[in-house]
């Protein structure tokens, strides 16, 4: 069992990255909760010599004399650098140099940086100073707490085992200080009237120091206070004989004055001011109360939280620690375990009150709780008052001299708790409840989360037996997941398996995987759903409505905007409701601005929502509409790119950047929104959202998510009322496949779209199909066929005023002419593409034709025109965050600089392009190798032109290495991007 001081040292170290150093016992050090190995005792002695002179320069001679004394090392002062080096290796954070070390070398010596070290000897001095101030101000109770904290710092003989004169002197000094602290504390106990506590320690001290008259005087005062006047006088007579026989002297003045005061019964002289004694407990024996419940069950996975609950509290005050968490997360079990571990430190009683805030029984009022607490302490004299204010006054008067541990379980709010707080300095209160009691002044707050997977499996295996769980490891993991890590759910599931020997773990997991998941988590009078229901019933009506709606959110995590849309409420008011649900432990906040429900809590919320179908339908539709609006606004396709479905009027996004940032915050859950819509029977929304997300996903290289969303929607397209979607989704799948270089799949999708279009004509989708086929044909090297398709696409797009399709098709048309060496025609098509892109002004759409046109200028040797186009393109695509197009444009800008003879600028730009390339992933970007070869080839030619042959060879070899790593397509990459050509030029 770790001793009190050592536990505090470790907890303190865990909460701070400063070095924690202990010398009041064996020399030890911690950083970040981990104890450090300080090595041999002489090395420790060097550290101690520096630590006990913090901030002061200790010369080489002082260190040698203090550690080695009259037998210095043979190497003299040369030994010190090796000792200091080893200490720095252990004490300093990794990578710290000598100039920033905890131990600084300067001016013929070393100095320990005082501010970087938390030394227990310094803590000792602080506690002693605080105690002396408290005693001088007439507050012996606080002085006792500070002195007790000082004593707890000693964990054995100071500087135990260290050699050398310095350690010997400091050891003796610290031992003398220890004795003074013990005596000072005992005197304060006497002033407080805690005579029995004082006498226990005085007996031991007097036996070890029989000639110490101050101890004898203090012992006589404690005996007198305990109404043992005769024993006090006997102690005096025995001491007089001991002094005469052993030392040949008579007692001193102080001891004689105490003797006279005992004879005269001078309370003021012996026991201190009456005001101090009035706060002391009665010296009559009193029954120690311990009402803590039994510690049932094994506590698993709560070590860190338990350490916070039992960590030492500030002396001289009533310490309050709160534990909050959702229903069934194990709050009561944790606080009871903590209280049992702390109980030995609270000799005046350990009390427990169930306030029943979330119970089928009647909630316990503060008046009822106070009456019971007073009777438990035996402080009730006759009939107790019923008025809360009077009861509180009686409770505070009764507890002011006591040091109590009070556990308040299932608390509702601060108003229920404040009257119950004891008044005795050093008392501690542990509060458990589902709500976060922000209005309560707490020393520490612990939020209890569900168990992680490993701990949850351990708990379930503990209940049903390791062998039974081990026979079905996958089913056990599944069952744990269905219980969402809630100890209550795990215990109920375990109990069901205990009571049904014929059931396998897999069988129960299968039952829970169905529609009645919460219904399976019930045994006897325990039910997870009932626990959640009690939490829900304590909510205000607007909170209840929000809780029901949030269970319908299409993603696991959601933000204020999603919630505001579902509630049809302003964001500020919505955020207040969300935060109140966080405080009620019904909602989690994994990071600022993002919220989520525990899985089982979400299931409960959805069950509640089923009772309000109209409200439910509106909330679901609002959430889906928000995601649709965001995806369409963020898309480069522009307002005319989505001719059917709701237009994003009144959306909370004023720019495409805001919409894109909102989608970014959703992470990897966007494809789930499509699946959510499909599962709800909202086929139109599933198709619209899948289509709207295509441009966003493809631009980020998230092809798998894009394909998943589209395939989910396509499975439900027959149930959609928007007939365009059957064509649109196939076009989108083909567009995505071209970017992934899956050309056969792309052709199948576009061909299916053409066939459907003949039966159900749609000019807009026909234009997209021809543009896609043109990109596909150009990517596989069939330029003439590509021109036929994209020409048709351009004609349709211009007629429909679809600028996105027109611009995309014109870029492909320009590339087809560029590959056919028809340079001026290519420039004309790129210029036309730029004109159409100006309609919406999206930087990617503008940057694309500029970057492609620069290739023509480079071929024609028009380096000035190329540089002008590329600089504008780089500026545009940097705004858009298009890494691929930025890298492509930068390396071509390098080629233009080389063409004008600026070789150093060219090389720098190629390297800048390589830096951009590293931001992409070769696993998700199909054209990564092509672009790398393009950049390195251009860089190699720039090096060669500069006469740097070795560096040029390295780049050309790198091109060959990349080429050899996989079969490289010489036909470039998807032409729809307008980013790649047939190879480096």
Coil, strand or helix at 113: coil
Distance CA 194, CA 197 (A): 6
Distance CA 599, CA 577 (A): 20
User: In the predicted model, is pLDDT for residue 528 greater than 60?
Assistant: yes
Predicted confidence (pLDDT) per residue in 395-409, tens digit: 887 788 888 899 998
Stretch 778-797: mean pLDDT, rounded? 92
User: In the predicted model, is pLDDT for residue 970 greater than 70?
Assistant: no
DSSP letters of 854-912?
HHHHHHTT-HHHHHHHHHHHHHHHHHHT-HHHHHHHHHHHHHHHHHTT-HHHHHHHHHH
Distance CA 602, CA 450 (A): 14
**Residue 522 has what pLDDT?**
62
Distance CA 64, CA 296 (A): 58
User: In the predicted model, is pLDDT for residue 524 greater than 70?
Assistant: no
User: In the predicted model, is pLDDT for residue 88 greater than 50?
Assistant: yes
Provide the pLDDT confidence category of residue 295 given band limits of 50, 70 and 90.
low
**Residue 631 has what pLDDT?**
95
464 versus 775: the higher-pLDDT residue is 775
**Residue 361 has what pLDDT?**
59
User: In the predicted model, is pLDDT for residue 957 greater than 80?
Assistant: yes
**Residue 622 has what pLDDT?**
95
**Residue 360 has what pLDDT?**
56
Distance CA 16, CA 19 (A): 8
Predicted confidence (pLDDT) per residue in 874-891, tens digit: 999 888 888 999 999 999
Provide the pLDDT confidence category of residue 372 given band limits of 50, 70 and 90.
confident
Provide the pLDDT confidence category of residue 980 given band limits of 50, 70 and 90.
very low
Check: CB of residue 171 under 8 Å from CB of residue 121. no
Check: CB of residue 600 under 8 Å from CB of residue 489. yes
Stretch 187-191: mean pLDDT, rounded? 86
Sheet with 109-112: strands ordered across? 58-59, 109-112, 103-106
**Whole-prediction pTM:** 0.61
Provide the pLDDT confidence category of residue 96 given band limits of 50, 70 and 90.
confident
For residue 711, what are its two tokens?
A: 């395939």
The crossing angle, in degrees rounded to 10, of helices 928-945 and 949-965 is 160
Stretch 251-260: mean pLDDT, rounded? 85
**Residue 480 has what pLDDT?**
82
In degrees and rounded to multiples of 5, residue 274 shows phi and psi of: -65, -30
Which residue is associated with the tokens 């911690």?
Answer: 30
User: In the predicted model, is pLDDT for residue 413 greater than 90?
Assistant: no
Provide the pLDDT confidence category of residue 6 given band limits of 50, 70 and 90.
very low
User: In the predicted model, is pLDDT for residue 286 greater than 70?
Assistant: no
User: In the predicted model, is pLDDT for residue 338 greater than 80?
Assistant: yes
Distance CA 878, CA 329 (A): 48
Alpha-helical (H) ranges within 483-592 are 487-499, 505-512, 517-520, 528-537, 541-550, 560-567, 571-583
Lowest mean pLDDT among 186-195, 286-295, 363-372, 591-600: 286-295
55 versus 774: the higher-pLDDT residue is 774
Highest mean pLDDT among 276-285, 356-365, 747-756: 747-756
**Residue 275 has what pLDDT?**
40
Predicted confidence (pLDDT) per residue in 216-250, tens digit: 888 888 888 877 777 777 788 888 888 888 888 88
Predicted confidence (pLDDT) per residue in 617-668, tens digit: 999 999 999 999 999 999 999 878 899 999 888 889 989 999 999 999 888 8
User: Rounded to the nearest 5 degrees, what angle is found at the Cα of 892, between the Cα atoms of 886 and 898?
Assistant: 140
User: In the predicted model, is pLDDT for residue 505 greater than 80?
Assistant: yes
User: In the predicted model, is pLDDT for residue 276 greater than 90?
Assistant: no
Predicted confidence (pLDDT) per residue in 39-53, tens digit: 898 999 999 999 888
Question: Mean pLDDT, the chain, as a whole number?
Answer: 85
Check: CB of residue 260 under 8 Å from CB of residue 230. no
In degrees and rounded to multiples of 5, residue 299 shows phi and psi of: -90, 115
User: In the predicted model, is pLDDT for residue 381 greater than 60?
Assistant: no
Alpha-helical (H) ranges within 610-723 are 613-634, 656-665, 670-679, 683-699, 703-715
Stretch 111-117: mean pLDDT, rounded? 87
Distance CA 349, CA 336 (A): 14
51 versus 201: the higher-pLDDT residue is 51
Predicted confidence (pLDDT) per residue in 717-733, tens digit: 999 999 999 999 999 99
**Residue 14 has what pLDDT?**
35
Q: Which residues of 357-382 are buried (b: 16+ CB within 10 A; e: fewer)?
A: bbeeeeebebbbbbbbbbebbeeeee
User: In the predicted model, is pLDDT for residue 190 greater than 70?
Assistant: yes
**Residue 570 has what pLDDT?**
94
């Amino acid at each position: 069992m770790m001793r009190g001081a050592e536990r505090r040292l470790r907890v303190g170290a865990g909460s701070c990255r400063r070095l924690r150093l202990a010398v009041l016992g064996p020399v030890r050090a911690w950083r970040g909760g981990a104890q450090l190995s300080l090595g041999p005792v002489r090395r420790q002695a060097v550290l101690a010599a520096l630590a006990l002179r913090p901030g002061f320069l200790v010369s080489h001679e002082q260190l040698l004399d203090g550690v080695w004394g009259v037998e210095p090392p043979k190497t003299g002062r040369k030994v010190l650098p090796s000792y200091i080096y080893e200490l720095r290796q252990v004490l300093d954070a990794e990578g710290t140099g000598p100039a920033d070390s905890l131990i600084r070398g300067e001016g013929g010596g070393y100095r320990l940086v005082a501010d970087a070290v938390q030394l227990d000897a310094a803590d000792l001095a602080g506690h002693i100073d605080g105690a002396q101030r408290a005693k001088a101000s007439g507050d012996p109770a606080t002085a006792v707490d500070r002195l007790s904290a000082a004593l707890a710092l000693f964990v054995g003989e100071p500087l135990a085992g260290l050699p050398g004169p310095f350690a010997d002197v400091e050891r003796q000094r610290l031992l003398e200080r220890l004795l003074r602290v013990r005596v000072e504390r005992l005197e304060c106990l006497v002033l407080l009237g805690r005579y029995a506590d004082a006498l226990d320690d005085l007996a031991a001290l007097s036996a070890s120091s029989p000639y110490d008259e101050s101890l004898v005087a203090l012992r006589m005062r404690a005996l007198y206070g305990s109404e043992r006047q005769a024993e006090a006088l006997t102690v005096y007579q025995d001491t007089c004989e001991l002094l005469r026989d052993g030392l040949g002297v008579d007692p001193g003045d102080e001891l004689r004055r105490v003797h006279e005061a005992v004879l005269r019964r001078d309370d003021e002289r012996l026991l201190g001011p009456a005001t101090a004694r009035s706060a002391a407990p009665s010296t009559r024996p009193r029954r120690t109360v311990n009402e803590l419940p039994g510690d049932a069950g094994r506590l698993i996975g709560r070590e860190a939280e338990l350490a916070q609950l039992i960590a030492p509290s500030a002396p001289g005050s009533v310490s309050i620690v709160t534990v909050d968490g959702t229903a069934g997360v194990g709050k009561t079990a944790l606080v009871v375990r903590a209280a049992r571990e702390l109980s030995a430190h609270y000799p005046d009683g350990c009390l427990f009150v169930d306030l029943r805030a979330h119970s089928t029984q009647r909630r316990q009022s503060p008046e009822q709780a106070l009456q019971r607490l007073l009777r438990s302490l035996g402080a009730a004299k006759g009939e107790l008052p019923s008025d809360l204010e009077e009861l509180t006054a009686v409770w505070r008067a009764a507890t002011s001299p006591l040091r109590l541990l009070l556990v308040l379980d299932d608390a509702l709010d601060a108003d229920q708790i404040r009257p119950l707080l004891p008044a005795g300095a050093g008392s501690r209160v542990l509060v458990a409840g589902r709500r976060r009691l922000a209005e309560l002044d707490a020393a520490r707050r612990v939020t209890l989360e569900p168990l992680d997977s490993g701990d949850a499996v351990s708990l379930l295996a503990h209940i049903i037996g390791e062998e039974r769980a081990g026979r079905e490891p996958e089913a056990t993991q599944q069952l744990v997941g269905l219980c969402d890590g809630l100890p209550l759910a795990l215990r109920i599931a375990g109990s069901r398996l205990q009571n049904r020997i014929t059931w396998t773990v897999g069988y129960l997991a299968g039952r829970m995987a169905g529609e009645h998941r919460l219904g399976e988590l019930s045994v006897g009078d325990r039910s997870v759903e009932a626990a959640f229901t009690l939490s829900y019933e304590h909510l205000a009506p607007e909170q209840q409505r929000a809780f029901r709606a949030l269970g319908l959110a299409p993603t696991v995590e959601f933000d204020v905007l999603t919630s505001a849309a579902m509630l049809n409420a302003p964001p500020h008011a919505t955020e207040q409701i969300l935060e109140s649900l966080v405080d009620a432990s019904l909602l989690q906040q994994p990071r600022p601005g993002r919220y989520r429900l525990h899985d089982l809590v979400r299931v409960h919320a959805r069950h509640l929502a089923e009772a309000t179908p109209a409200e439910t339908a509106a909330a679901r539709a609002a959430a889906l509409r928000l995601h649709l609006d965001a995806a369409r606004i963020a898309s480069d396709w522009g307002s005319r790119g989505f001719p059917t479905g709701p237009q994003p009027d009144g959306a909370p996004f004023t720019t495409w950047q805001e919409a894109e940032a909102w989608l970014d915050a959703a992470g990897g859950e966007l494809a789930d929104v499509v699946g959510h819509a499909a599962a709800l029977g909202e086929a139109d929304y599933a198709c619209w959202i899948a289509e709207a997300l295509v441009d966003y996903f493809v631009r980020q290289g998230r092809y798998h998510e894009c394909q998943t969303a589209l395939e989910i929607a396509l499975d439900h397209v027959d149930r959609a009322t928007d007939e365009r979607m059957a064509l649109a989704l196939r076009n989108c799948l083909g567009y995505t496949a071209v970017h992934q270089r899956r050309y056969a799949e792309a052709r199948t999708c576009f061909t299916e779209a053409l066939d459907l279009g003949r039966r159900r004509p749609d000019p807009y989708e026909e234009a997209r199909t021809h543009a896609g086929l043109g990109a596909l044909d150009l990517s596989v090297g069939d330029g003439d066929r590509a021109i036929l398709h994209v020409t048709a696409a351009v004609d349709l797009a211009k007629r429909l005023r679809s600028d996105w399709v027109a611009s995309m098709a014109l870029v492909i048309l320009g590339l087809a002419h560029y590959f056919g060496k028809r340079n001026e025609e290519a420039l004309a098509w790129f210029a036309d593409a730029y004109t159409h892109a100006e309609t919406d002004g999206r930087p990617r759409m503008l940057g694309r034709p500029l970057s492609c046109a620069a290739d023509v200028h480079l071929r024609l040797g028009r380096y000035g025109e190329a540089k002008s186009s590329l600089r504008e393109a780089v500026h545009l695509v940097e705004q858009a965050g298009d890494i691929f197009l930025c890298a492509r444009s930068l390396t071509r800008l390098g080629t233009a600089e080389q063409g004008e003879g600026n070789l150093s600028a060219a090389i720098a730009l190629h390297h800048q392009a390589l830096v951009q390339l590293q931001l992409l992933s070769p696993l998700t970007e199909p054209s990564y190798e092509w672009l790398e070869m393009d950049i390195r080839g251009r860089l190699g030619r720039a090096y060669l032109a500069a006469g740097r042959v070795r560096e040029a060879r390295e780049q050309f070899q790198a091109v060959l290495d990349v080429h050899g790593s996989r079969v490289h397509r010489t036909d470039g990459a998807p032409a729809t991007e307008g980013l790649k050509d047939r190879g480096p030029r």
